[in-house]
Structure 1
Amino acid sequence: MSIRHGLLALLERGPRYGSQLRSEFESRTGSTWPLNVGQVYTTLNRLERDGMVAQGGEDEAGHTLYAITDNGRAELRTWFEKPVDRTSPARDELAIKLAMAVGAPGVDIRDVIQSQRRHTVKAMQDYTRLKAQALLAVEGGGARERDDVAWLLVLEQLIFQTEAEARWLDHCESRLIRLSAPAPAGAPAPAPTAPATPQPDPKAAAPGVAAS
């Protein structure tokens, strides 16, 4: 998750202070990836160090405001235009767990799969309910419509993710069942491989033809 670029995107809409950025980030993403104020200010300090934001005075309540710079806008444009790199995927805890469960003493990997499937299906149902609420908010319009649309996109991505995870768990279970199934009784043994037929030496003389 790029907190750095998310904050730059919010600052492009105008100067903001730290807790305001945190609230708007969470509103835009439905608090899927909650931030704390410490994370926000640490990121702002790094962005300021890199010349991508600058302090721009204070608001009426005395909050220090941050504003995006030209370098920050250039960085943001590059982020929007560049595809997310999938050649080095982030570590996935579930995939690592199943990989480690294969052959682990005292662990029934199918129990692990079934437990995860129940959790995944419940999460998918929860996301689907939230999606219905987000759709109502989008259709109703209002001042927060932009945030509601953003939250709807995040929810749909989460739904697609959990659907894919459920299918993958089904596939894993089927694969394990096939691999653990014993060979059918009386199945013929594989036929021995016939020896390769010797190939004639192209340099050898043909029958009845004298070698030169």
Structure 2
Amino acid sequence: MSIRHGLLALLDQGPRYGYQLRTEFEARTGATWPLNVGQVYTTLGRLERDGLVVPDGEDEEGHLFYAVTEKGRAELRDWFETPVPRTSPPRDELAIKLAMAVTVPGVDVHAVVQAQRRHSVKALQDYTRLKARALAGEPAGSAADGRSDLAWLLVLDQLIFQTEAEVRWLDHCETRLANYRERPVAEPGPAATAPARGRRTRA
């Protein structure tokens, strides 16, 4: 998840301060990836260091506003125009867990798969209910508008498709594990006859 570019996208619509950025980010993603204000200000500090944003005054309550620079807009355009690379996929904890489970003696891999499937199916049901509510017109957050609702639906669709794929992959893992258990064990070949050792008899 690129918090950096998400904040640039929000600042491209006008100066904002940290709490506003947090609220709008969560509204557009349905709080799927919640942020804390500390993360926001840490990211803003890095963006300022890199010349992508600049401080833009304070309001009467002392909130420090930030504005995007032309360099920041150029980076944002590049982010939108560049596909997300799949050559170095992010580490997937579930894939790592199963890869380790099949190599560690004493681990019930079937139980690991079943527990994950139950969790994933419940998550899929929860996402589906959220989507039904979103389609019925319930806003994603207090600051949501029409475009934010659309953004939330897109995020929900991605979560649903991803979880459906995970459940299918877990089914595939069970089939592969079953096939592995049923694989016939190769019979050992005949032992090579070792040459007799001792003194050779002269003719």
Class of the TM-score when normalised by the shorter of the 2 chains: 0.7 to 0.9
Contact 2:27–2:144 under 8 Å retained in 1: no
Distance (Å, rounded) in 2 between the aligned partners of 1:182 and 1:45: 57
Map of 1:136 onto structure 2 = 136
Map of 1:34 onto structure 2 = 34
Instruction: Give the residue type in structure 1 aligned to 2:3.
Output: I
> Per-residue CA shift, 1:120-148, capped at 9, x if unaligned?
00000000000011112279xx9711111
1:155 aligns with 2:176: no
RMSD: 1.9
Distance (Å, rounded) in 1 between the aligned partners of 2:103 and 2:9: 47
Distance (Å, rounded) in 2 between the aligned partners of 1:82 and 1:107: 42
Map of 1:93 onto structure 2 = 93
Q: Secondary structure at the match of 1:15?
A: coil
User: How do residues 173-188 of structure 1 correspond to structure 2 at under 5 angstroms?
Assistant: 173-183=174-184
Q: How far off its partner does 1:158 sit? A: 0.2
TM normalised by structure 2 equals 0.86
Map of 2:64 onto structure 1 = 64
Q: List alignment gaps of at least 5 residues for structure 2.
A: 188-203
Instruction: Give the residue type in structure 2 aligned to 1:99.
Output: A
Instruction: Give the residue type in structure 1 aligned to 2:154.
Output: L
> Per-residue CA shift, 1:19-69, capped at 9, x if unaligned?
110011011111111111111001101101111101111123221100001
Q: Post-superposition, which runs of at least 4 consecutive aligned residues in structure 1 deviate over 3 A? A: none
Larger radius of gyration: 1
Q: How many residues align?
A: 183
1:4 aligns with 2:4: yes
Q: Secondary structure at the match of 2:57?
A: strand
> Per-residue CA shift, 1:3-25, capped at 9, x if unaligned?
00000000011100001100110
Q: Secondary structure at the match of 2:31?
A: coil
Contact 1:51–1:71 under 8 Å retained in 2: yes
Distance (Å, rounded) in 2 between the aligned partners of 1:136 and 1:145: 13
Q: How far off its partner does 1:79 sit? A: 0.1
Distance (Å, rounded) in 2 between the aligned partners of 1:87 and 1:60: 48
TM normalised by structure 1 equals 0.82
Map of 1:54 onto structure 2 = 54
Q: Secondary structure at the match of 2:137?
A: helix
